[in-house]
A and B are shown apart, each in its own frame.
Chain A
């Protein structure tokens, strides 16, 4: 079974609109972390936001927020007021187990295109 599922291969959004990128996960470990990364055409993976499984509130980092619904096992990324520079691939990833060095499992990604 897929541990991380991103159901939107591609999304097209008008500039300045908000966009939600979906991510669902599957784990039986009570301790885990969820990450979102952005990969522009240059290829580098840029960390955007992190949510821990025990965090009570959704995390916000600037225009990025993570809509964490634990009971649904979803961790959607919300980008407010989208900009042309937001066009990129976006990956959701999960770390299982206690904090510390653990591998990340990635979803297949969503290609976001912001139209002017």
Chain B
């Protein structure tokens, strides 16, 4: 079946502009996660959604970052007033939360964001 998809694959923007990154999880997966991978920081958790529960936003680095998940499926990560330090690869993952598979997270190909 189809894996996690993300768009765009690459995004170049100017400092101060807003950007939206999209994630389409594996069909039927109830949990969706966003991570950020940058050279200096490795892989960092940003936010996750699980069913109808309130999202865990504990990893969002500032209030310029927000995310939503509509209809329990597609998610959008929004970064307002982008800064150069926001440049990174943004990875989305999804999982069948709560089942006896260790809740393995399957990742999408990522969006490479470059802020000029």
Q: Which residues of A contact B (CB under 8 A)?
A: 33, 35, 37, 42-47, 50, 52, 91, 93, 95, 99-109
Contacts and interface: CB of A to CB of B under 8 A. Distances in A.
Contacts of B101: 50
5 contacts: A43-B110, A50-B104, A99-B102, A101-B97, A104-B33
Given A101-B48, A103-B59, A35 B102 contact: yes
B30 interface: yes
A44 B109 contact: yes
Interface residues of B, number: 31
Given A43-B110, A103-B56, A91 B103 contact: no
A70 to B, nearest CB: 16
Contacts of B105: 35, 47, 104
Contacts of B104: 35, 47, 50
A100 B105 CA distance: 11
Contacts, number: 69
Contacts of B99: 99
Contact of B98 (A45, A101, A104): A101
B38 interface: no
Contacts of B95: 101
B50 A101 contact: yes
Given A44-B109, A52-B102, A106 B42 contact: yes
Nearest to A102: B103
B43 interface: yes
B91 A45 contact: yes
B43 A43 contact: no
